Amino acid sequence: MDIDGGKRKRPLSDLRRLVEYGRNDKNDVLRRGAEQGGTVMGFDPALNRTWHLASRPRGDIRPENFAMQTSPRPEPGENQFRVRLLYISLDPGQRLWIREKASYLPSLPLGGPMFSFAMGVVEASRHADFPDGTIVTGVFGWQDYALSDGTGAVRSVVADPRLPLLARFGMLEHIGLTAYFGTLDLLQPKSGETMVVSGAAGAVGSIAVQIGKIMGCRVVGIAGSDEKCAWLRDELGADAVVNYRAGPLGEQLQLACPDGIDSFFDNVGGECLEAVLDLINMKARIAMCGAVSQYGADDKPYGPSNIYNLLMKRARMEGFIVLDYAADKRWWAIAEEQLVQWHLQGRLKYRLDIVDGLERTPVAMTRLFNGTNAGKLLVKVSDDPTN
């Protein structure tokens, strides 16, 4: 991975502690849900609605696993500021946060608020570093308003005149950086190799597909509908696509990868991982970003029967999350600027799928697991002051 225009001085891993969006595209966002009078449905500036975890899902996540509570809008104390939430990011990994067994984060308690990565605007501040009008990102509740003291993952967003604000969700922040580091640091793609991406039409997967192409790979994308496969092939430039619903996945992959598989960016796990393991080449690399097919299998997730192929092919498989790279912000800044440059050059595109209304958040969440979302799934909570 050449990250400074020259050879990296040390491995990056050592630093660890729907609609296409183009530069001039005005029809860039798939919206679901109506708006009334320009204001998101259900939003009341005097109240704070918050979704809480009512029960732990068994199998598929369901809207009834969440319950809404309403309270007065909170007021900031000394060295605090109030954030009006604009957009909530819905991501498959949140399914792991609400199971009884801890994941890479402690399990959220029953009855407590549900959290997501989110974006908001500071509306009332008693904190010198976060004045009124500041756009911030961080981990906030599924709610209208949040109080913060600026610690933790909260950070202010410096407007980039080259990009719309929502580009931060489409190709930067946790989405773009996950694809960037997973592909370039773990997979270390080489020109001419075959790279496979599962969940390829998703937010992270679609960025990984395009980075693989930029690196000169022959990229094969796996998705769950003909429409998604067509988008990957016709718009993102995937060399081959596989609709896993259209027939036996192993047979389809064998046809799509006649020379085997050199690297695999996995968002799905389970039988998809098993099908890829059958076809890996010597010294193959697998970046395990997610296992969405198994997140509902709390008791007995599916284990590939051919894991020994890692031994036979002297291959490497490594799990990761983007927070592994958070210790040195220098790399984050370099990665984000590279992603922006690729976008401005027309080499990197993204999709947004926006649901209007906090009240729709639990229903929207289910779409991550039934394949009906189209790109980066967001919930719009209130009006964006930058529009």
Q: Give the span between the Cα atoms of 354 and 361, in whole angstroms.
A: 11
Spatial distance between the Cα atoms of 144 and 86, rounded to a whole number of angstroms: 8
User: Does position 13 have pLDDT exceeding 60, yes or no?
Assistant: no
- Residue 187 is given by DSSP the state I
Q: pLDDT confidence of 40, banded at 50, 70, 90?
A: low
pLDDT attached to residue 78: 96
CA 143 to CA 382: how far, in whole Å? 10
Burial 352-377 (b: 16+ CB within 10 A, else e): bbbbbbbbbbbbbbbbbbebebbbbb
pLDDT tens sequence across 88-112: 999 998 998 888 877 777 889 999 9
pLDDT band at 127 (very low <50, low <70, confident <90, very high): very high
Write out pLDDT tens, residues 315-335.
999 999 988 887 777 888 899
CB atoms within 10 A of CB 149: 16
Tokens of 237: 């430039």
Nearest to 153 by CA among 179, 124, 115: 115
pLDDT at 17 over 90: no
What tokens were used for 360? 């729709």
What residues have CB less than 8 Å from 25, skipping those under 6 apart?
19
Instruction: Please state the separation of Cα 369 from the chain's center in Å.
Output: 13
For residues 25 and 20, give the distance between their C-alpha atoms in angstroms, rounded to a whole number. 8
Are 362 and 66 in contact by the 8 Å Cβ rule? The answer is: yes
> How many residues belong to the chain?
387
Residue 283 Rama label (left phi>0; alpha psi -120 to 50; beta) = left
Tokens of 151: 């610690």
* pLDDT reading at 203 higher than 60: yes
Q: What pLDDT, on a 0 to 100 scale, did the predictor assign at position 29? A: 53
Separation CA 240–CA 220 (nearest Å): 5
Per-residue b or e along 287-301, where b marks 16 or more CB atoms closer than 10 Å to that residue's CB: bbbbbbbbbeebeee
pLDDT at 21 over 50: no
Tell me which H or E stretch contains 214.
helix 203-214
Write the pLDDT tens digit of every residue in 239-250. Answer: 999 999 999 999
* Structure confidence by residue, pLDDT tens digits, 62-87: 999 999 999 999 999 999 999 999 99
Domains in the chain with CATH codes: 33-169+350-380 (3.90.180.10), 173-325 (3.40.50.720)
CA 374, 378, 382, 383 torsion: positive or negative? negative
Contact 340, 160 (CB under 8 A): yes
CA dist 264 and 260 (Å) reads 11
Please write the tens of the pLDDT for every residue from 270-321: 999 999 999 999 999 999 999 888 887 767 778 899 999 999 999 999 999 9
What is the band of 10 on the pLDDT scale with cuts at 50, 70, 90?
very low
As a whole-number percent, the residues of the chain with pLDDT over 70 amount to 89
